[in-house]
Amino acid sequence: MTAQSQLDLFGIPEKQKKKPIVSPSPEKKPTEYPSPKKKAASETKTVDYHDFPEDLPPSYLVSVMYDGKKQLASLKLYEPVSQKIYFWDDNTGHKPYCLTSLPIEELEKLRRVTGHSGFDHFETVEKFDPLLDKQVTVTKVVTKDPLAIGGRQSGCMRDIIPEDYQKLTGFEEPPKVWESYIRYYQSYIYDNNLAPGMLYKIQKGNLVPVQQTASKDTIEKILSLFPDVEKEFLESVETWARLLESPVPDFRRVALDIEVSSSIVTRVPDPQEAAHPVVCVALFGSDRKKEILILKRDGIENGDKKLPSDAIVTYFDSEKKLLQKLFESLRDYPFVLTFNGDDFDLPYLYNRARNHFSFERNQIPIQVGRRVCRVSHGVHIDLYKFFFNRSIQIYAFGNKYRDITLNAVGTALLELPKIEFEKPLSELSYTELAEYNLRDSEITLDLTAFNDNVVMKLILVLSRIARMPLEDVSRQGVSRWIRNFLYHEHRQRNMLIPNSEDILALKGATSTKAIIKGKKYKGAIVVDPVPGVHFDVAVMDFASLYPSIIKVYNLGYQTLLCKHEECKTNKVPETSHWICTKNKALESLLIGSLRDLRVKWYKPKSKDKTLPKDLQSWYTVIPSALKVILNASYGVFGSPAFGLYCPPVAEATAAIGRHVITQTIEKAKSLGIEVLYGDTDSLFLKNPSPEQIEIMAEWSKTTMEMELEVEKFYRYAVFSSRKKNYLGILKGGGVDVKGMTGKKRHIPLYIKKAFYALEERLEQVQSPADFDEAKKEIKKIIRDRYLRLKQRRWGDSPEELAFHVVLGKPLKDYKKTTPQHVKAALILKKIGYEMKAGDLISFVKVLKDPRVKPVQIASNSEIDVDKYVAYLQSTFDQILDALGLDFEEIIGLTKLERFM
C-alpha cells in the first residue's frame, strides 16, 4: 500500500542492450525450426503483410483481433529471430456467442432471433452460476458475427431476446442474457486459454503453445515456497508463475513522430481535416536507425544544424512521395511507437493520404478506429495512453513524472529534454526542424528502451496477466486488466460470467457511512499524530494489507452476502455484511496467490544482486507489474466501471482493514509502546525495542494472519497536528517529506527553495541537542526569504513566483466557481492560447483585479508581495509548530504588532 518504493522502474538510463532473447531461465534458442520464408516489403501498392505460414517457430502472441471480412479470429505472432509479425487465422471454427436463460424451444419462437442474418445455431450448455451458487442449464446463442450479439446497432441478440420474449409472453421478468458485452477476441482468448505475450508455434497449420521446459526448475522452486496450501491455491500460483517466468523477446520497433505546418501557432492541426502538409517525419528504430523525411517548401533555409551522421535524410519534392516512403519504412517494423499517435499522428497521416493524395486504403498501413489507431502489419503502442495511466504513473514510476507530455515524461525518465527554439516551428530551417523532430522520435523510442527496455517488458507481462493483446493492455486501465483476468478464470472453470447489474441488484448495498460526502462507504483510519519532534521512530506496515485481507477473509462477489443461512453469523466488523463459510471466492484465490507470489518469490528476487543483469532487470519488472495490479485489486470493487463491481467487497475490505489496524494499535499500547501516528496500514512507533517489534510482528502473524514488518527507521520524525503531513529523517540519512505544502507541485519555486533549504538543514540534526543550532539557522532561512520578498528581489522575472495548477476539465465546465487558475486560463484563452483539460496553468498573484495573471504576461512590478508572504507562512507553519517556532516572530513582528 505504500506508494513510494525501491521497486519502481525508474532508474538512470542505460544504453540499450543488444540481445535477441532475454530469458529468465536460459532457453534454447528456437533456431532448430525452419526459418520462415522472407517476404520483402515491396514497393508496389500491395499491402499483404498477412503472411500465413504452415509452420512457424516459437513466436510471441501479441494480438488477437476479429477479421470482419473472413468472420474469424485472427492472431498476430511475433517471431523473435526474423523479428517479423506473422498472422494466423483461426481454424477451429470458434464463433461468437452469448448465453441466455431461455431454453431452445422458447428461443425458437422468437422470429427475430432465428431469422437474424447473423444467427448460426443454439446449443444447450451447463454452467455454474456464481450468484445463484448452483449449476444451471443455459442456451448458447451462436452467431456468425460478433455484431449480431451486441454491436452498436440495435437488433442484436442482447436486446432482442429479452424484448421479444417479454412481448411474446407478457412476463414481467425478461429472460437473462449473459456474456454479450465481452469483446469477441477476448472471448476467443478465454475459450482457447490463450495468453498474449506467451510463446506459440504453428505446426502444420495449427496453433500450439510452446512448453517452457527450461523454466521447470524455477517453477518447482517457486512451488516449494508454498508447502501446506490447498491444491487449488497451488495451481493458481503455478499458472501465474508460468506466465511470469517465460522469456521476453527483443522487440524490434520504431518510434514515429510527424511535424505538420500550421498557420496558427497556438492551435493543434485537426487530424480529421488534415488540411496542412506533413513537412517532416522522423523514424527512430530500436536498432538506432534514424530516418528523416523532409518536404521541400518555398522560402525555407537549409540551416546549419548538424544532424547525426548516421541519420538517413531524404528531401521530397512531393508530399505524396514522402508519405509513400514513410509507409514503406513503417512496414519494415513489427512494432510502431508514438506519443499520442492514436489521436494525432496516425489519423493525420491516414486522412492526409486519403483525402489529399487519393491513396487506397490498402496502400496505407494504418487502420483508424474511433479511439485507437492500429498498424495493419503489426502492433501500434501509443505511449501517451500508457504513461497517462494513473496506476503506471504512481506505482510503476513512483510519480516521477507529473504531467503527461513528451517533454515532461522524457525529462523525468530519460534526462533527454526536447529541443527548444525561440521561434515558431514554421520559421525553422530544414535542419532545425529535422533535429527537433528526430529528438522527439528518439525520446519516444527511449521511453520504451531505458533501463533495459522496462516499459516493453512491463506491457508484455501485463498482457500475460490480464490476457489482453498488447495494444489493449497499453491503452486501458487497471480495472480492465483485472476484469479480464477474472473473466478468463470464470471461463476456465465453466462459470457463468455475471452481469454487473445482477451483482449490483443482489449485493450492491453498502452499510457504512463515508466521512467524505458523496462517497459510498467508510474507508481507512488515520490516527491523529502526536505533534512535536520524536527521536527513534520505527515505521511498521502491513505487507499488501488489502490483498491480504481479500485472501485471508475470502472476499469476493460470490462470498459476500451469500445465500446460506448458516453463514450469516460470519459478520464483517462494523458492517451488516457476512462472508460465506462454504465456498471459496475466485478473487480471493487469485489475488491471494498473486500477492503471495509477489511477497514470497518476486520481492526477494528483486533484491538479489547476484543474478545476471538481464535477470535482475526482469525481476524488477515483475514485482512492479504485480504491485500495480495488487494495489488496485481492492479499489476496483468499488468502481462502477469494473465488470465485477461489488461495493460490499470494497467496503468489507476497508472495514477489516480498520479492524486490523485498530487491534494492532491496541496491542502496541498494551506493550507500552507509544503510537505516534498511523495511516491505513502503517504505524509509527516511538522508540520500540527490537524485542517489542518482534512481538508485534509475531502477534500479527499468529492472531490475524497478517504480515507486519518494519518498513523504515527514522532518526527523528516531525509531526504537526495535521494528518497525512509529516517529515522524517531516516537513520543513515535521507529525508521523507509527506503531504507538506512546501513539496506540492503547484507551489512557487521561490517557496519550494526555502523549504528545500530547511529540509537540508534538518537532515544534519543528529540528536536533540543539535536542534538549538538548527533552529537558529532555520530562522535565518525564513527571514532571508521573507526579506527578499519584501525587497522584491526574486529575480528578473516573476517566473519563480508562479503557481502551477492543472486544468482539471475543459474551461466551459467550470460552472459553479471560477478558481484562480481558471481565471488565468481564461486570460490565456483570450490572447489566443488553446486551453484544454490537463493543461498546466502557470500564474502569479497580482494586486489588480482578477488578482491573478498568467506568468507569460506578468511583470515584477504588479506582484502582490503580501500574498506570497502569507503563502510562505502557511507553508512553514506546518513545520514550525512542531519545532516550537513562530513565523511572525521570526520575520520580526513583535507580539504587539501581531496583535494589531
Partner DNA sequence: GCGGACTGCTTACCT
Partner DNA sequence: ACAGGTAAGCAGTCCGCG
State the DSSP code for 555.
-
Please select the residue that binds DNA; options are 744, 753, 761, 829, rule is CB under 7 A: 744
Binding mask 68-107 for DNA (x = CB under 7 A): ----------------------------------------
Among 45-53, 413-421, 444-452, 510-518, the segment contacting DNA (CB under 7 A): 510-518
Rule CB under 7 A: is residue 739 a binding residue for DNA?
Answer: yes
Q: Measured between alpha carbons, how far is 290 from 272 in angstroms, rounded to an integer?
A: 28
> Which helix (H) or strand (E) covers residue 665, if one does?
helix 647-670
Of 24 and 341, which has the nearer Cβ to DNA? Answer: 341
Rule CB under 7 A: is residue 847 a binding residue for DNA?
Answer: no
- Minimum CB separation from DNA for residue 867, in Å? 6
Binding mask 821-840 for DNA (x = CB under 7 A): x-x-----------------
Task: Find all residues with CB under 8 Å of 427, minimum gap 6, and list them.
Answer: none
Instruction: Name the amino acid, one letter, at 314.
Output: T
Backbone phi, psi, residue 210, to 5°: -95, 120
Q: Does residue 215 contact residue 25 with C-beta atoms inside 8 Å? A: yes
Of 601 and 642, which has the nearer Cβ to DNA? Answer: 642
Of 787 and 870, which has the nearer Cβ to DNA? Answer: 870
User: ∠206-210-214 over CA atoms, to 5°?
Assistant: 165
- Minimum CB separation from DNA for residue 576, in Å? 17
State the DSSP code for 495.
B
Size of the site for DNA (CB under 7 A): 80
Please select the residue that binds DNA; options are 82, 180, 324, 391, rule is CB under 7 A: 391
- Minimum CB separation from DNA for residue 803, in Å? 9
Site residues for DNA, window 669-688 (CB under 7 A)? 679-682
- Minimum CB separation from DNA for residue 95, in Å? 28
Site residues for DNA, window 464-493 (CB under 7 A)? 475-480
Rule CB under 7 A: is residue 500 a binding residue for DNA?
Answer: no
Rule CB under 7 A: is residue 402 a binding residue for DNA?
Answer: yes
- Minimum CB separation from DNA for residue 638, in Å? 3
Of 82 and 631, which has the nearer Cβ to DNA? Answer: 631
- Minimum CB separation from DNA for residue 621, in Å? 19
Site residues for DNA, window 515-554 (CB under 7 A)? 515-517, 519-524, 526, 541
Among 47-55, 199-207, 373-381, 508-516, the segment contacting DNA (CB under 7 A): 508-516
Rule CB under 7 A: is residue 578 a binding residue for DNA?
Answer: no
Per DSSP, the three-state class of 605 is helix
Of 289 and 402, which has the nearer Cβ to DNA? Answer: 402
Q: Does residue 50 contact residue 38 with C-beta atoms inside 8 Å? A: no
User: ∠266-270-274 over CA atoms, to 5°?
Assistant: 125
Please select the residue that binds DNA; options are 162, 271, 410, 638, rule is CB under 7 A: 638
Please select the residue that binds DNA; options are 553, 634, 755, 876, rule is CB under 7 A: 634
For the chain, give the longest Cα–Cα distance.
93
Q: Measured between alpha carbons, how far is 595 from 597 in angstroms, rounded to an integer?
A: 5
Q: Measured between alpha carbons, how far is 418 from 406 in angstroms, rounded to an integer?
A: 8
Rule CB under 7 A: is residue 58 a binding residue for DNA?
Answer: no
Of 389 and 444, which has the nearer Cβ to DNA? Answer: 389
Of 23 and 575, which has the nearer Cβ to DNA? Answer: 575
Q: Does residue 357 contact residue 398 with C-beta atoms inside 8 Å? A: no
Site residues for DNA, window 848-877 (CB under 7 A)? 851, 867, 870-871, 874, 877
Among 163-171, 383-391, 459-467, 828-836, the segment contacting DNA (CB under 7 A): 383-391
Q: Does residue 698 contact residue 683 with C-beta atoms inside 8 Å? A: no
- Minimum CB separation from DNA for residue 249, in Å? 26
Q: Measured between alpha carbons, how far is 468 from 15 in angstroms, rounded to an integer?
A: 30
Instruction: Name the amino acid, one letter, at 647.
Output: P
Of 763 and 864, which has the nearer Cβ to DNA? Answer: 864
Q: Measured between alpha carbons, how far is 853 from 845 in angstroms, rounded to an integer?
A: 7
**In angstroms, what is the C-alpha Rg of the chain?**
30
- Minimum CB separation from DNA for residue 396, in Å? 11
Q: Measured between alpha carbons, how far is 521 from 513 in angstroms, rounded to an integer?
A: 5
Rule CB under 7 A: is residue 636 a binding residue for DNA?
Answer: yes
Task: Find all residues with CB under 8 Å of 269, minimum gap 6, and list them.
Answer: 260, 262, 275, 276, 348
- Minimum CB separation from DNA for residue 313, in Å? 38
**CA-CA distances (angstroms) from residue 127 to 96, 235, 640?**
17, 21, 26
Binding mask 589-628 for DNA (x = CB under 7 A): ----------------------------------------
Site residues for DNA, window 745-764 (CB under 7 A)? 745-746
Task: Find all residues with CB under 8 Å of 622, minimum gap 6, and list them.
Answer: 244, 461, 602, 605, 606
Rule CB under 7 A: is residue 898 a binding residue for DNA?
Answer: no
Instruction: Name the amino acid, one letter, at 564.
Output: H
Rule CB under 7 A: is residue 411 a binding residue for DNA?
Answer: no
Binding mask 639-658 for DNA (x = CB under 7 A): xxxx-------x---x----
Site residues for DNA, window 706-735 (CB under 7 A)? 721-725
Site residues for DNA, window 789-818 (CB under 7 A)? 804-809, 814-818
Task: Find all residues with CB under 8 Å of 197, minimum gap 6, and list them.
Answer: 60, 61, 62, 243, 246, 460, 461, 463, 464, 470
Per DSSP, the three-state class of 284 is strand
Rule CB under 7 A: is residue 5 a binding residue for DNA?
Answer: no
**CA-CA distances (angstroms) from residue 22 to 210, 252, 607?**
16, 13, 19
Task: Find all residues with CB under 8 Å of 618, minimum gap 6, and list them.
Answer: 22, 24, 248, 457
Instruction: Name the amino acid, one letter, at 181.
Output: Y
- Minimum CB separation from DNA for residue 1, in Å? 4
Q: Does residue 381 contact residue 256 with C-beta atoms inside 8 Å? A: no
Q: Measured between alpha carbons, how far is 297 from 428 in angstroms, rounded to an integer?
A: 12
Q: Helices in 69-145 by DSSP H: which ranges?
A: 104-107, 111-114
Q: Measured between alpha carbons, how far is 343 from 341 in angstroms, rounded to an integer?
A: 5
Task: Find all residues with CB under 8 Å of 418, minimum gap 6, and list them.
Answer: 406, 407, 410, 436, 439, 440, 443
State the DSSP code for 602.
I
Of 50 and 744, which has the nearer Cβ to DNA? Answer: 744
Of 515 and 900, which has the nearer Cβ to DNA? Answer: 515
Rule CB under 7 A: is residue 820 a binding residue for DNA?
Answer: yes
- Minimum CB separation from DNA for residue 512, in Å? 8
- Minimum CB separation from DNA for residue 713, in Å? 15
Of 160 and 533, which has the nearer Cβ to DNA? Answer: 533
Site residues for DNA, window 308-367 (CB under 7 A)? none
- Minimum CB separation from DNA for residue 406, in Å? 19
